[in-house]
Amino acid sequence: MEKGSMSTGRSHQHSQDWITGSEALLRGLLLEGVECVFGYPGGNVLYIYDAMVGNPDFKHILTRHEQGAIHAADGYARSTGKVGVCIATSGPGATNLVTGIATAYADSVPLVIITGNVPTTVMGTDAFQEADIISITMSITKHSYLVRDVRDLPRIIHEAFHIAGTGRKGPVLIDIPKDVSNQNMLFHPSDNINLRGYQADPSPNRTEIDRLIQAIAESERPVIIAGGGVVYSNASNELLEFVDKTNIPVTTTLLGLGGFPSAHSLWLGMPGHHGTYAANTAIQNADLIISIGSRFDDRVTMKSDGFAPHAKRIAHIDIDPAEIGKNIDTDIACIGDIKAVLEYANTKAVPSRSSSWIHTVQENKVKHPLRYKDSDTELKPQYVLEMIHETTQGDAIITTDVGQHQMWVAQFYKFKHPRSLITSGGLGTMGFGFPSAIGAQTGNPDRLVISVNGDGGMQMCAQEMAICAIHNIPVKIVVINNQVLGMVKQQQELIYGNRYSHIDLAGSPDFVKLAGAYGIKGLRASTKAEAALIWQEAMNTPGPVLVEFVVPKEENVYPMVLAGTTLDQMIMGDFE
């Protein structure tokens, strides 16, 4: 569906038609402004798929696995800020979505997931392809609906989009039994939202924000930890203004990367498990910690009872009251939409007493930068990511899978804009990187989208190369191939005394030939000279391209803070 083709808004011209539940579903999705649905048909959604025939407004992309569909919807949602939509049949179709639902739930991504179910007449009888998907996903959805009466469908669709896309965003499941999808109804679009007890955006408590401003005025060593919430609430400009007014150094979590410009003189890098020396030492020596849309995740805090030991006060700005004090005790709680909180804070913001502190943290940044031992004979993965950054100038949308390459992207690709890093943070889902790029490219047809994968995760959703070829989706697919499960290997080295167990990926396919089998151009480099040439070729080639960079398996991600240790106990690798 073309953007803007539903400009009639919610008053659809055929709103009073006598139609089936399946037609009502498609109409409801179009009224919500849905541009594309990712899915995979099966028996109990066939009425829905039948309704798509001859409907020119409705765009659907057939993925090659349900997990590919939900990760694509997720990448679409993260990169656009809109609600992503996917559809699957009952039983195995629905259960194949579970990992993707959990991925979106962990990272607060707005999705509406539509599943078919067996007819109501046989529900509860262990019918063919029956699974109680509502119960299975109860702990990983924001809300769920089982549609028992077709007349409820327009209201449910409207509510589901509202719930998914407001407050702390998240996945909402709509389960539609097969007979309900074929029942007839008089279609009335649903306009009103009346959800008892659901207050999506609590207005900020100004007293608490005033307390925060007072704490900043008294602070000599403040640090901001900016997380994914800054990106999700579109508050990057407000954060920039806040930092300029208060003079506070900023660290950005993995999901916060891009929410604050990496070129800014007060940016210290990413904190935590693989955080920079400057970020981690700043947190450990700060007298005031301000978390903005970051939930004090264990990969950021590491050993929680040794986190920020010198902080006199810890402030937390978050839309979800349940996050306040959950992991780290909080002194100042500013609950509300981050954009709204910062807009008010900026009217009163005062500079902190941080001038000598800023000198210290900037000195740490210069003395202890991210480094690696480059080589003229081998192609280092960090070099590859620096090269990708230089050629894109930080303007591309980068999606990653999970593992060492993900951390190298976070460290060596410098993000300028929000929504330009698409990665699985909370769940750490292998197989996410490539399909999420398909969704990001679908939602951003004019942007360059690069999917950075390891040789492990690439094989978990490689089948989705088919749809890149068929629809000419021009994702540049990067495979950092070190022939090993790198992050597992690194932990087995450092924690398990070099006892390697089941990490050898040397039997993986020839990725260039695999791309060719799907009808996609494949290129390979194993030296610096080759890397520069083939990357330029990939960038100059219209359509999808797979580029494999062969790198040494010995390379590790540093700095690293081991579980059970504090942020200042960093292992610096070759640069101890």
Whether the Cβ atoms of residue 258 and residue 293 lie closer than 8 Å to each other: no
Whether the Cβ atoms of residue 77 and residue 109 lie closer than 8 Å to each other: yes
CATH of 206-367, one of 3.40.50.720, 3.40.1390.10, 3.40.50.1220, 1.10.10.10: 3.40.50.1220
To the question of domain 381-559 being in CATH 3.40.50.970, the answer is: yes
Span 476-516, pLDDT tens digits: 999 999 999 999 999 999 999 999 999 999 999 999 999 99
Confidence of residue 17 (pLDDT cuts 50, 70, 90): confident
Q: Where are the domains of the chain?
A: 18-186, 206-367, 381-559
Residue 201's pLDDT is 76
Residue 6's pLDDT is 36
Q: What percent of the chain has pLDDT over 90?
A: 94
Span 265-317, pLDDT tens digits: 999 999 999 999 999 999 999 999 999 999 999 999 999 999 999 999 999 99
Residue 8's pLDDT is 33
Span 506-532, pLDDT tens digits: 999 999 999 999 999 999 999 999 999
Over residues 105-123, the mean pLDDT reads 98
Nearest alpha-carbon partner for 141 in 116, 173, 180: 173
Span 82-99, pLDDT tens digits: 999 999 999 999 999 999
- Separation between Cα atoms, residue 92 and residue 131, nearest integer Å: 8
To the question of domain 18-186 being in CATH 1.20.120.160, the answer is: no
Residue 469's pLDDT is 98
Cis peptide before 559 (omega within 30 of 0): yes
Biggest distance spanned by C-alpha atoms of the chain? 72
User: How would DSSP label each residue in 168-219?
Assistant: S--EEEEEEETTGGG-EEE---------TT--SSPPP-HHHHHHHHHHHHH-
Residue 320's pLDDT is 95
> For strand 18-20 and strand 184-186, is the pairing parallel, antiparallel, or unpaired?
antiparallel
- pTM of the predicted model as reported, rounded to 2 decimal places: 0.96
Span 343-387, pLDDT tens digits: 999 999 999 999 999 999 999 999 999 999 999 999 999 999 999
User: How would DSSP label each residue in 403-463?
Assistant: SHHHHHHHHHS---STT-EE---SS--TT-HHHHHHHHHHH-TTS-EEEEEETTGGGGSGG
Query: SS3 for 47?
Result: helix
- Asked if residue 13 has pLDDT above 60, the reply is no
- Asked if residue 324 has pLDDT above 90, the reply is yes
Compute CA distances 193 → 154, 158, 169, 197, 401, whole Å: 12, 8, 17, 12, 37
Nearest alpha-carbon partner for 40 in 100, 89, 112: 89
Tell me which residues are annotated as active site. 66, 128-129, 178, 487
- Separation between Cα atoms, residue 94 and residue 115, nearest integer Å: 6
Confidence of residue 117 (pLDDT cuts 50, 70, 90): very high
Span 72-85, pLDDT tens digits: 999 999 999 999 99
Q: What is the mean pLDDT of the chain?
A: 95
Topology agreement, domain 18-186 and domain 381-559: yes
